[in-house]
Amino acid sequence: MSLFEVKNLRKNFGGLAVTDNVSLSLAPGDRLALIGPNGAGKTTFVNLVTGHIKPDGGSIALAGEDVTGLKARQRVSRGLVRSFQVTRLFADMTPQEHVALAILQRDGKSTRMFGRHDAMREVVEEVGEILNLLGLTELAHLKVREIAYGQQRLLEIALAMALRPKVLLLDEPAAGVPQSETARIERALDMLPPELAVLMIEHDMDLVFRFAKRVMVLAAGAVIFDGSPQDVTQDVRVREAYLGSYANAGSAA
Amino acid sequence: MAVLMDSTLPTRRRPLGTLIGIAVIIAAGIIGYFLFPNNLALLTRIVATMLLVLSIDLVTGYCGVATLGHAALFGAGAYGAGIVSAHFGITEPLTMTLIGAAAGAVAGLVSGLVILRAHGLPQLVLSIAVVHLFHEVANKASGWTGGSDGLSGITTDALLGLFEFDLWGRTAYFYGIALLLIVFVLLRILVQSPFGMLARGVREDPIRVAAMGASVHSVMLRMYVISGAVAGIGGALNAISTQVVGLDSLSFTMSAEALVMLVLGGTGSLYGAMVGTVSFMWFEDVVSAANPFHWLTIVGALLIVVVLFAPKGLYGSAAAFLSRRRGGGK
């Protein structure tokens, strides 16, 4: 039995199939990259899977449990966590507060109305470990609005780690990050727990090839390729789907 | 654990915010008493309004909920405390205050359930509808509330059996200051707690909060109930000190003025709420005495100046200025 099973997922927007019978399964430790030209329906797929929009058909199961009817937050508490294509962070709060909040939420303590997170030893220690792992220790007390975008992306990964998911969906973790800093994102992704199943959407092909053990290609809402990173560039249908867009630009980058 | 050595976070000296706040409230209370011994009724009204403005800060400043109907919660507390005294003979002031808090909390739950269904402008409109409904109910149920004549016949025992509520309003004033202190300390604990942090998260990005697995709606509703209790205490204080409850205590005007006071002082700090209330009501009192015809114009002009030149409010802008100056050294 696989850890994460999506079957025949469908979604139409005004007659247009943006997700067309997509199925996929993930086992613990999987590193899957979902790629495809712009408008292929990658982000819609993530939104469907995480419960931000409702599918027209199909099912989603996590660890054997059907979660298709559950709300986004209920899926999170069962271990299905996502990051966002454009960072969604609390501009007026510090990295320390972000990670502490994620830890408290994970442990069911986020609605406590007394005590302070920075006085709870086990929380402070874990926050310290996670921020240190991602090289964010020095920024721990700055407001997020004051730190660089690349570092905000790292903080998004830190939040995902703090939630200790079973399945993690990364929606373009390196989007908007200057080329010089993608190495840090890559290192951060390497530090994700080995047993975690990761599905990553990404345009940066170098990152895809280094990170993924398996690649799926989405075009016009349908899966047109599912296989190893070595084979994807040879595939005729993939080349067709990308032709004239950025197949060449991607390999040049 | 090897990582621990490096992972100790740089500690930041926490300002003794709560202690300073307590000291300032006590000092201001004493100074007010000696400076305006003949005006204690006004000062008590300021304290009661402060509790209302603090309660708006909880939902607006911490959770980002827009409301122009918060006097409904204040009025519920005032009528709750007033009705049990006038109709049921419960005249013990602490009990009356607790009943006011409970009535406010229930009103907070009811109006929260309605208002939180919507977002943005529709939410604002719903909040206005709610306060009008509360107002109409109080107006129609005149057997209980006295309708437009106001609820009279409120009597109160001596506080703790020792201090009679005197004609000068001394007892009511000190009782108000004591309530404000208790509420302030409890709210400081609340806003610094994990729940307070979660609420700030809701204000900044509800989608991120949901992506962490928390229920945005439940956070806002809980805060609404707490906010209702705080406003209810303010209402009860008003009922106890003036011994009458009028329909104006759950009016749209009062809701709007209280929101203005919050914006004037600055949202999301508790201090801003208190500074804004004192500034607004003191200014209103001075200006209306000096120029009874044009005072509203002057108040309006002051607001425009503050919003244009200190958009974070009086306290918010001052705090930001101070932290910039302090931050310049590092």
Spell out which residues of chain A touch residue B194, defining contact as CB-CB under 8 Å.
100-101, 104, 109-112, 115, 117
Asked if residue A36 has pLDDT above 60, the reply is yes
Q: How far apart are CA B237 and CA B235, in angstroms?
A: 5
Phi-psi region of B60 (alpha: psi -120 to 50; beta: other; left: phi over 0): alpha
Instruction: Go through chain B and tell me how many residues it has.
Output: 330
Question: B309: buried, middle or exposed (CB in 10 Å: 19+, 13-18, 0-12)?
Answer: exposed
Please give the residue that has the higher pLDDT: either B43 or A203. B43
The amino acid that residue A139 corresponds to is: L
**What pLDDT shows up at residue B15?**
53
Q: What is the pLDDT of residues A144-174, one digit of tens each?
A: 999 999 899 999 999 999 999 999 999 999 8
Spell out which residues of chain B touch residue A131, defining contact as CB-CB under 8 Å.
7, 9
Q: What is the pLDDT of residues B172-200, one digit of tens each?
A: 999 999 999 999 999 999 999 999 999 99
Asked if residue B12 has pLDDT above 70, the reply is no
**What pLDDT shows up at residue A240?**
78
Spell out which residues of chain A touch residue B215, defining contact as CB-CB under 8 Å.
73
pLDDT-based confidence at residue A228 (cuts at 50, 70, 90): confident
- As a whole-number percent, the residues of chain A with pLDDT over 70 amount to 95
Q: Which residues of B218-237 are buried (b: 16+ CB within 10 A; e: fewer)?
A: ebbbbbbbbbbbbbbbbbbb
Domains of chain A: 4-91+164-252 (3.40.50.300)
**What pLDDT shows up at residue B2?**
38
Domain ranges of chain B: 16-250
Please answer yes or no on whether A111 and B1 come within 8 Å at the CB atom.
Answer: no
- As a whole-number percent, the residues of chain B with pLDDT over 70 amount to 94
Q: What is the pLDDT of residues B62-83, one digit of tens each?
A: 999 989 999 999 999 999 999 9
Q: How far apart are CA B282 and CA A16, in angstroms?
A: 62
Please answer yes or no on whether B213 and A137 come within 8 Å at the CB atom.
Answer: no
**What pLDDT shows up at residue A102?**
94
* For range A128-140, the mean pLDDT: 91
Spell out which residues of chain B touch residue A114, defining contact as CB-CB under 8 Å.
189-190, 193
Asked if residue B148 has pLDDT above 50, the reply is yes
Please answer yes or no on whether B212 and A102 come within 8 Å at the CB atom.
Answer: yes
Say what the ipTM of the complex is. 0.87
Phi-psi region of B289 (alpha: psi -120 to 50; beta: other; left: phi over 0): alpha
Say which residues have a Cβ less than 8 Å from residue A187's Cβ, sequence separation at least 6.
none
Cα A202 to chain center, whole Å?
Answer: 10
**What pLDDT shows up at residue B8?**
53
Say which residues have a Cβ less than 8 Å from residue B260's Cβ, sequence separation at least 6.
B280, B303
- A 197-226 → B contacts, CB under 8 A: none
Please provide the average confidence, as pLDDT, over all residues in chain A.
88
Please answer yes or no on whether B207 and A111 come within 8 Å at the CB atom.
Answer: no
Q: What is the CA radius of gyration of chain B?
A: 20
Q: How far apart are CA A112 and CA B135, in angstroms?
A: 34
DSSP secondary structure letter of residue A221: T
Q: What is the number of CB-based contacts under 8 A between chain A and chain B?
A: 115
- A 66-95 → B contacts, CB under 8 A: 72-74, 76-77, 81-82, 84, 88-93
Chain A residue at shortest CA distance from B9: A128
Spell out which residues of chain B touch residue A141, defining contact as CB-CB under 8 Å.
9-10, 12
Spell out which residues of chain A touch residue B201, defining contact as CB-CB under 8 Å.
90, 93, 101
Nearest CA to A151 out of A85, A93, A87 is that of A87
Q: How many CB atoms lie within 10 A of CB A110?
A: 24
Asked if residue A249 has pLDDT above 70, the reply is no
Q: How far apart are CA B129 and CA B150, in angstroms?
A: 22
Task: State how far the alpha carbon of B39 is from the alpha carbons of A81, A243, B32, B172, in Å.
Answer: 59, 81, 9, 12
Structure-token pair, residue A95: 């990295």
Asked if residue A76 has pLDDT above 70, the reply is yes
Spatial contact of B234 and B254, defined as CB atoms under 8 Å apart:
no
For an interface test with A, the pick among B18, B212, B220, B226 (most A C-beta atoms closer than 10 Å) comes out as B212
According to DSSP, the β-strands at A4-13 and A80-82 are unpaired
**What pLDDT shows up at residue A235?**
81
pLDDT-based confidence at residue B325 (cuts at 50, 70, 90): confident
Please answer yes or no on whether B204 and A90 come within 8 Å at the CB atom.
Answer: yes
Question: B153: buried, middle or exposed (CB in 10 Å: 19+, 13-18, 0-12)?
Answer: exposed
Cα angle, residue B210 at apex, residues B208 and B212 outer, rounded to 5°: 75
Structure-token pair, residue B115: 């208002």
**What pLDDT shows up at residue A243?**
63
